[in-house]
Amino acid sequence: MMNVEDLYRILRTSHVQAQGIVDTIPDPLLVLDESLRVQNASRSFFETFRVDRYETIGQQLFTLGNGQWDIPELRSLLQDVIPRSVAVVNFRVEHDFPSLGPRTMLLTARTLFHPDNAGHLLLLSIVDVTDQARRDVAKDMLFGELRHRMKNLLSVAHSMARLTPVEDRSAEEYREAFLGRFAALIAAQDIAFAEDSAGDLKTLTERVLAPFSGEGHGLVIEPGEPVELTPKSLTSLSLVFNELATNAAKYGALSAAGGRVSVSWRIEDGERLRITWAESGGPAVVSPDRKGYGSELIRTAISYTLHGQLGQEYASDGYRAEIAVPLVE
């Protein structure tokens, strides 16, 4: 498609000023004489500004369409700037057009000197970028939101590294513990912002618990009704599942052959999610280390973010946890 520069070149070299050429310009275009009278206009000018040829050609620009082009910035552009420079490119004008409402236009103007006499013409193209400008604002907001979310996520990872205990353990043990939690954080992010099935509890449990199911013991996720969770709730539950599974692999049912963990959930009264973690067939249940960071993390995740409750039972046949989370606040 032809732009103002191409047209300028054609008009300059071949001395023609054909309506056909003007009409090939996709954007609204005016050809103005020295007194800013409209000599010619492209078809898209008539279409965009809803005016017809007869009320346009021969008129002075600032009187066109009840003076809707009598814009101070445009006046100064054409009367002050253009005489002193050959071209003005993408000059931004915000204006409330009576027929169109508030619009943002980019004006490009170019002086065309007539080779046969001392006169000149002016090419003026007008591109409506209102929608583009609106999209830009929305995009800026989205980028701002993403930047904030990213910083927040890094900050959570930072806190996690700081909180994972270093006392009485090797660097390797620390790394394993940190990376397990970090993986749970990433899993929650992936699922929270997945394109399909975003925020799904089943997808989350499968993903977080997959590394823990192995030979000789079983980790079963019972079929449950679909539950969609917010990104924050997902993150908290993801970390909780990681802690429960890590404990089970260290001391519980997943630490011995024949052990079994069953994960299930149901929705009670349409307003409460109840998740059950039930271990069986493992070694004798040992007294819990209630002060450990892992259990503090589980308790805080459930109370602070999920506003939920944790019930724990150290039954002789296996550890059992019940997590009740309100679905409506």
Partner 1 sequence: MQRTVLIVEDEFLIAMHLQRLLEEHGWRVIGPVATVRAALRLLEEKLPDVALLDVNLGREMVTPVAEALRARSVPFAIASAYERPERFAGEVLAGAVNVGKPAVERRLLAALRQLIDREPVG
Tell me 121's DSSP state.
E
Which region, judged by CB under 8 A, interacts with partner 1, from 96-104, 144-152, 217-225, 269-277?
144-152
H helical segments located in the chain: 4-14, 19-23, 43-49, 64-67, 72-76, 130-163, 171-192, 201-209, 231-250, 293-300
Shortest Cβ 237–partner 1 spacing (Å)? 12
Q: Measured from the CB atom, is 84 or 162 closer to partner 1?
A: 162
Query: Considering only residues 59, 60, 130, 300, which one is a binding residue for partner 1 as defined by CB under 8 A?
Result: 300
Shortest Cβ 181–partner 1 spacing (Å)? 9
- In contact, 202 and 294? CB cutoff 8 Å: no
> Counting contacts by CB under 8 A, is residue 256 touching partner 1?
no
- In contact, 107 and 91? CB cutoff 8 Å: yes
Shortest Cβ 163–partner 1 spacing (Å)? 5
Query: Considering only residues 138, 154, 179, 286, which one is a binding residue for partner 1 as defined by CB under 8 A?
Result: 154
Number of H helices, E strands in the chain: 10, 10
Name the token pair of 102.
């508030």
CB atoms inside a 10 Å sphere around CB 151: 10
Q: Name which of residues 219 to 238 contact partner 1 (CB under 8 A).
A: 232, 236
Can you name the residues that pair with 31 across neighbouring β-strands?
40, 123
The site for partner 1, by CB under 8 A, has a size of 21
> Counting contacts by CB under 8 A, is residue 310 touching partner 1?
no
> Counting contacts by CB under 8 A, is residue 159 touching partner 1?
yes
> Counting contacts by CB under 8 A, is residue 131 touching partner 1?
no
Q: What span, in angstroms and rounded, lies between the C-alpha atoms of 135 and 137?
A: 5
Query: Considering only residues 225, 268, 296, 313, which one is a binding residue for partner 1 as defined by CB under 8 A?
Result: 296
Q: What span, in angstroms and rounded, lies between the C-alpha atoms of 265 and 258?
A: 23
> Counting contacts by CB under 8 A, is residue 197 touching partner 1?
no
Contact footprint for partner 1 (CB under 8 A): 147-148, 151-152, 154-156, 158-160, 162-163, 232, 236, 239, 296-297, 300-301, 304-305
